[in-house]
């Protein structure tokens, strides 16, 4: 960027994160609610606290992992783990695989195994972070937790019950999966209907569950809006609310921090901490190690489909 500026090029960078890279800028404009909320040098803006007010994501201080989740959660202390993977391996095949393989000239490519003998257990109230580079198999792993994908070998147990062969629609009452792309799980015409979808129709507690889930992510004032009109950060929070409303015992979050602004990150933090305090087990997948360390009790790495202890 400096080279461009020296050469006389004006550079405008749009970002919702105040990354170190942006300290190269001479001036920061902070936009909020469609107007300029603050303007000045990076140092002036930081000193005025304008970033947090506007919901800009600020670098987090480096922290260690939280102490191990101990006893004291009301459920699952003596029983089976909330979630267990036993020697799970997986290869995409047939309709799960990419149809375009067939369109390639020559013999069809051999399917490549994506997960290799994964074993892990997560207890009630525990937050496990899984970090790893793109393509490591993180999303593939999460799709096994609610039965969207079935292991090629090995088994997945939720509260001690093998979910093999059960449709994802049934497992999802127990395991809530927040997709990597929130738009993949939003399809209703209002925020309120989106959260209500999937709850038992006419269930007296449904109204309350919808209100509580929307309040938990701070979207209660947007109940009548069309999900497609919301900014990306609120779409992710809405997808999270649809999952929370069913009060799952396991929450699986795929790259939950991506596209969240500062307010969204704070809401996600509150939700993860409060649901685990109530005994939900959380598995979150991220490539953001700082985030993983700030929230998780335990961190593992997934690399080329194999689980490794994190350094
Ligand atoms: N539907 C699919 N069909 C075939 N291969 C896939 C499919 N989805 C993902 N893959 C492949 O599986 C590997 C792991 O992908 P993914 O689980 O999305 O990784 P991550 O979430 O860690 O980035 C990648 O090589 C990817 O190309
Ligand atoms: Mg992924």
217 closest CA partner among 253, 187, 250: 253
Classify residue 129 by its DSSP letter.
E
305 Cβ below 6 A of ligand 1: no
Q: Is the CB of 97 under 6 A from ligand 1?
A: yes
pLDDT at 132 over 70: yes
> Which range has the top average pLDDT, 22-26, 94-98, 169-173, 238-242?
238-242
- 137 versus 65: the higher-pLDDT residue is 137
Residue-level pLDDT at 71: 47
pTM tops 0.95, yes or no: no
pLDDT recorded at residue 76: 45
Q: Is the CB of 113 under 6 A from ligand 1?
A: no
The pairing of strands 298-303 and 127-131 is parallel
Ligand 1 proximity of 95 Cβ (cutoff 6 Å): no
Distance in Å, CA 48 to ligand 2 centroid: 37
Q: How far is the CA of 115 from the centre of ligand 1 (A)?
A: 10
Would you place residue 203 in the very low, low, confident or very high pLDDT band (cuts 50, 70, 90)?
A: low
Distance from the CA of 115 to the center of ligand 2, in angstroms? 13
Dist. CA 215 → ligand 2 center (Å): 28
DSSP E strand stretches across 42-82:
none
pLDDT tens figures, 68-124: 776 444 444 568 999 999 999 999 986 554 444 444 555 666 788 999 999 999 999
Pocket of ligand 1 contains residue 96 by CB under 6 Å: yes
CATH of 83-102+111-309, one of 3.40.50.10680, 3.40.50.300, 3.40.50.620, 3.30.70.20: 3.40.50.300
- In this predicted structure, what is the pLDDT of residue 245? 94
pLDDT for the residue 108: 62
- Tell me the CA–centroid distance for residue 140 and ligand 1, in Å: 6
Handedness of CA 203, 207, 208, 213 (dihedral sign): positive
pLDDT average, residue stretch 3-11: 85
What residues have their beta carbon closer than 5 A to ion ligand 2? 138-139, 180
Nearest ligand to the C-alpha atom of residue 136 = 1
Q: Could you tell me the pLDDT band of residue 195, with boundaries at 50, 70 and 90?
A: very high
* pLDDT attached to residue 70: 62
Q: What is the pLDDT of residue 117?
A: 96
Q: Which of the two residues, 76 and 40, has the higher pLDDT score?
A: 40
Q: Which residue's C-alpha comes closest to atom 8 of ligand 1?
A: 140
* Cβ contact 223:161 at 8 Å: no
Q: Residue 168's pLDDT band (boundaries 50, 70, 90)? A: confident
pLDDT in tens, 209-254: 999 999 999 999 999 999 999 999 999 999 999 999 999 999 999 9
Would you kindly state where each structural domain of the chain is located, as residue ranges?
A: 2-54, 83-102+111-309
Please report, for residues 142, 146, 153, 179, the alpha-carbon distance to residue 136 in angstroms, rounded to integers and kept in the order given: 12, 19, 18, 16
Most confident of 6-10, 16-20, 76-80, 131-135: 131-135
> Over the stretch 41-70, which tens digit does the pLDDT of each residue have?
888 988 888 888 888 888 776 677 777 776
C-alpha to C-alpha distances, 295 to 201, 231, 277, nearest whole angstrom: 35, 25, 13
Q: Tell me, what's the pLDDT at 272?
A: 95
- CB-based contacts of 83, cutoff 8 Å, min separation 6: 121, 122, 145, 156, 157, 158, 175, 250, 281, 283
Distance (Å) from CA 135 to ligand 2 centroid: 7
Verify whether ligand 1 is closer than 6 Å to residue 92 (CB atom): yes
144 pLDDT exceeds 50?
A: yes
d(CA 81, CA 145): 13
Angle between helices 205-216 and 262-277 (to 10 degrees): 130
């Amino acid at each position: 960027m400096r080279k461009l500026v020296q050469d006389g090029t004006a550079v405008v960078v749009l970002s919702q994160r105040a990354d170190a890279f942006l300290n190269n800028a001479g001036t920061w404009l902070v936009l909020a609610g469609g107007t300029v909320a603050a303007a000045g040098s990076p140092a002036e803006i930081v000193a005025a606290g304008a970033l947090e007010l506007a919901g800009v994501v600020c670098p987090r201080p480096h922290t260690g992992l939280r102490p191990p989740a101990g006893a004291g959660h009301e459920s699952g202390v003596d029983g089976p783990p909330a979630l267990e993977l036993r020697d799970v391996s997986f290869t995409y095949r047939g309709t799960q695989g990419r149809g375009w393989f067939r369109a390639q000239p020559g013999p069809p490519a051999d399917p490549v195994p994506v997960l290799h003998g994964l074993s892990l257990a997560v207890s009630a109230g525990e937050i496990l972070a899984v970090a790893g580079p793109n393509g490591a198999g993180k999303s593939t792993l999460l799709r096994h937790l609610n039965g969207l994908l079935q292991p090629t070998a090995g088994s997945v147990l939720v509260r001690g019950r093998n979910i093999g062969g059960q449709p994802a629609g049934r497992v999802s009452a127990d395991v809530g999966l927040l997709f990597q792309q929130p738009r993949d799980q939003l399809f209703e015409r209002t925020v309120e209907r989106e959260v209500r979808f999937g709850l038992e129709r006419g269930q007296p507690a449904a109204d309350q569950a919808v209100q509580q889930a929307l309040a938990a992510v701070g979207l209660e004032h947007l109940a009548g809006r069309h999900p497609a009109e919301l900014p990306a950060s609120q779409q992710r929070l809405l997808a999270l609310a649809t999952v929370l409303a069913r009060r799952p015992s396991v929450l699986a979050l795929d790259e939950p921090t991506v596209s969240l602004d500062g307010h969204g990150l704070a809401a996600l933090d509150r939700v993860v901490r409060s649901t685990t305090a109530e005994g939900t087990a959380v598995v979150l997948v991220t490539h953001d190690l700082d985030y993983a360390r700030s929230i998780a009790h335990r961190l593992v790495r997934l690399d080329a489909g194999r689980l490794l202890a994190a350094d």
